[in-house]
Amino acid sequence: MRLISSYFALLLCLGMATTAFAQDPVITKKEVVTHPDGSYTVIEYPVGREVSVSLLPSATLAGSKGTARVMRTADGTRIVFNVNGLPATGRYYAYAIDPTGVPTVLGPLTVTNGVAAGTFQTTLNQFMLALSPMETMTAFSPEHVVFTSEVPTGFTAIPVRTRTAAAINVGSGTTNQFAYNVPLLNIPAFGEDERTMTLKFPEYDGLEARIGIDREKGATKVTLNMENMKRAPETKRFVLWTFGPDGKYTKLGQVINNGRRDDTKIASETALQDFGLFVTVEDTDVTVPTSTVYQVVKVGS
């Protein structure tokens, strides 16, 4: 009887151990994906969470160290840079590189005793960070930068997107590509109330527009109200475009000075969940933006 009791007790213990082992949580490792050469590290920053990013130096500044703290809120994204091990003095420029590779300058960092720090704001929510000695960098290229941001643990690099650029006739049958630097507005953070912003056109004194964005289920309504339209040349068309996360432009409508009214309006809608907005001033009817004269809608404007 003692032998039988001991046998059943052993079976009971083995069964409990097997059950406990089966209930252990499964741990899934998140892989970090970067561009093959490590140069492209755009990620989307989450709302309400501070993300610490390592800044990786180029070969010219080997041994230097840098970090950035990124905090995205409903009102925009705050970026705090700290870099050391630099040459004793000098100036570098901080950039945010969007998913299409277009750089937006955030501001200058002045070096004092090999240390530089700075705090900047941007409306972008998907970007990589870079420091460059160039004050004006029109396109991202690894040889133009001395620091680039690393993909933080738990994040995945966003695939490179191709920006659709409009061809501009520059004479003699040649064309030139003009890229528009249009930040996404972070539309999901707007809430249910209509958001209103203002655009001014320095080329035409007194001419301005009010942009209205009203989120609804399934679509977002976008309106543009032009004021003092008679101040614009009668030959010019003011065209409202969306810029989507995929890098494509969509025409929402256009207005023109017909000489009869001072105020005019565009009312349209888009199914895009997030987008940027801008207005180009065109000489003819167009299906893609072609003008070098344009104004971009920004949060807080």
Please say which residue of 121, 149, 177 terminates a domain.
149
Please say which residue of 149, 183, 200 terminates a domain.
149
Verify that 203 and 117 share a domain, yes or no.
no
Please say which residue of 123, 149, 175 terminates a domain.
149
Supply the pLDDT for residue 204. Answer: 80
Q: Is residue 248 part of a domain?
A: yes
Asked whether 252 and 297 are in contact (CB, 8 A), the reply is: no
Structure tokens at 39: 């140069």
Verify that 189 and 288 share a domain, yes or no.
yes
Using CA atoms, how far apart are residues 50 and 53, in angstroms rounded to an integer?
A: 10
Verify that 183 and 144 share a domain, yes or no.
no
Q: Is residue 154 part of a domain?
A: no
Supply the pLDDT for residue 151. Answer: 92
Verify that 198 and 135 share a domain, yes or no.
no
Query: Minimal CA–CA distance to 297: which of 206, 212, 207?
Result: 212
Distances (CA, A) of 246 to 104, 130, 158, 272: 18, 22, 11, 10
Residue 131 burial class via C-beta count within 10 angstroms: exposed 0-12, middle 13-18, buried 19 and up: buried
Verify that 73 and 140 share a domain, yes or no.
yes
Structure tokens at 117: 């720090």
Per the structure, the complete domain to which residue 119 belongs is given by 43-149
Report angle CA 247, 251, 252 to the nearest 5 degrees. 120
- Strand order, beta sheet including 249-256: 249-256, 237-243, 276-282, 294-296
Q: Is residue 158 part of a domain?
A: no
Q: Is residue 185 part of a domain?
A: yes
Verify that 175 and 290 share a domain, yes or no.
yes
Using CA atoms, how far apart are residues 236 and 281, in angstroms rounded to an integer?
A: 6
Verify that 278 and 180 share a domain, yes or no.
yes
Asked whether 242 and 275 are in contact (CB, 8 A), the reply is: yes
Q: Is residue 155 part of a domain?
A: no
Report angle CA 99, 102, 105 to the nearest 5 degrees. 115
Verify that 125 and 221 share a domain, yes or no.
no
Verify that 142 and 176 share a domain, yes or no.
no
Verify that 119 and 73 share a domain, yes or no.
yes
Supply the pLDDT for residue 77. Answer: 92
Q: Is residue 191 part of a domain?
A: yes
Asked whether 66 and 58 are in contact (CB, 8 A), the reply is: no
DSSP 29: P
Verify that 192 and 291 share a domain, yes or no.
yes
Supply the pLDDT for residue 39. Answer: 65
Query: Minimal CA–CA distance to 147: which of 213, 57, 63?
Result: 57
Verify that 137 and 239 share a domain, yes or no.
no
pLDDT tens over the chain, length 301 residues: 454 455 445 444 444 444 433 343 333 333 333 444 446 899 999 999 999 999 999 888 888 999 999 999 887 899 999 999 998 888 999 999 988 777 888 999 999 999 999 999 988 888 999 999 988 877 788 888 999 999 999 998 887 764 443 333 333 333 334 567 788 888 888 887 889 988 888 778 778 889 999 988 778 999 999 888 888 887 788 999 999 888 888 899 988 877 667 788 899 999 998 999 999 888 888 888 888 778 888 876 6
Residue with tokens 């399934």: 218
Label the pairing between strands 237-243 and 276-282: antiparallel
In this structure, the dihedral spanned by the alpha carbons of residues 245, 249, 238 and 263, taken in order and rounded to 10 degrees, is -50
Q: How many separate domains does the chain show?
A: 2
What amino acid occupies position 125?
N
Asked whether 180 and 190 are in contact (CB, 8 A), the reply is: no
Supply the pLDDT for residue 301. Answer: 64
